[in-house]
Structure 1
Amino acid sequence: MLKKRELKSKRQRRKRSIRKKILGTPNRPRLSVYRSNKHIYAQVIDDINGHTVASASTVDKEMRDDVADLEKEEQARQIGKRLAERVKEKGIEKVVFDRNGFIYHGRVAAVADGAREGGLEF
C-alpha cells in the first residue's frame, strides 16, 4: 500500500508533466483545480501576466452556506458553475483545463462539468 508521501510525489510528477504542455494566456487562461479532503478550490489563471482572473472555492464566504449541506461532488459542480459565472463577467469564454495532477474523476470531473454547464468551453 502506498504511503501518503509516495502518493503526493506521484501527483507532483503528473502535475509537472501536465504543466509542461499547457499554458494560460490572456485570451485562453488556465482553469486549475485543487482538492483537499474537505474542500475544493478552482481558479482561472493568466500565466503570461501572472495573475488570477477569478477563483471559487468551498471556503469562500459566499459559497460556504450555499454548499454546506451538499455532498462533495455536488459542491464541486456548484464551484464550477460559480467560477464560470465570474469568468464570463470578465469576458472570457474559453479556458484550458488543468487537473493539477489529480485523476479526472469524481470531484475534479464535477468541477469541469459545472464549468461547462456555466458556459465555459474547453
Structure 2
Amino acid sequence: MKKKIARLRRAKSTRSRIRDLGMPRLSVLRTGQHVYAQLFSADGSKVLAAASTTQSDVREGLKSGKNTEAAIKVGRVIAEKAKAAGIDKIAFDRSGYRYHGRIKALADAAREGGLEF
C-alpha cells in the first residue's frame, strides 16, 4: 500500500504544476491488464478524448492489452482523437509512474501522432 500512496503523492504534485500551466492534460493509467489514456480540458472539468485497451477498435489485432505494443496503439489513437478535437499542445501527466516501459511507449506514440508535450 505504501507504493500506491507514494505514486499518488507524486501524481498530486505533478498535477498541481500542470494546473498552473493552463493547458490540456494527457493523463495515463496503467493497470496489470490494460492501459488507459484520457485528455482533460485545461481546468480539468471535461474529458475531451479517451482511449484504452478495453475499447474494441484499439484491442483489434493485439495479443494482450498489457504490453508496450498495446500502449503504442493507445498513444496513436489518443493523438488522433486529440487532433480531431483541435488540440496539438498538451501537458503529459504520467500519474506518478516512472517514465519507462509502457508509459514511455504511449508518450512516444502520441508525439509521433502529432502532439507536442
Alignment TM-score, normalising by the size of structure 2: 0.91
Residue 19 of structure 1 aligns to a residue in which SS? helix
- Give unpaired runs (5+ residues) of structure 2: none
Counterpart residue identity of residue 108, structure 1: I
Distance between the aligned counterparts of 2:59 and 2:34, measured in 1?
Answer: 10
Distance between the aligned counterparts of 1:100 and 1:65, measured in 2?
Answer: 26
Does 2:8 match 1:7? no
> Counterpart in 2 of 1:44?
39
- The equivalent position to 2:63 in structure 1, one of 47, 55, 68, is 68
Q: Which runs of 4+ in 1 moved over 6 A?
A: none
- The equivalent position to 1:17 in structure 2, one of 13, 20, 23, is 13
Alignment TM-score, normalising by the size of structure 1: 0.87
Q: What number of residue pairs does the alignment pair up?
A: 116
1:47 Cα offset (Å): 4.2
Residue 17 of structure 1 aligns to a residue in which SS? helix
Going from structure 1 to structure 2, the CA distance change for 1:64 and 1:16 (only over 3 Å counts) comes to: same
- Give unpaired runs (5+ residues) of structure 1: none
Distance between the aligned counterparts of 1:46 and 1:22, measured in 2?
Answer: 11
1:64 Cα offset (Å): 1.7
Superposition RMSD in Å: 1.7
1:65 Cα offset (Å): 2.0
Percent of matched pairs sharing the same residue: 43
Distance between the aligned counterparts of 2:77 and 2:89, measured in 1?
Answer: 15
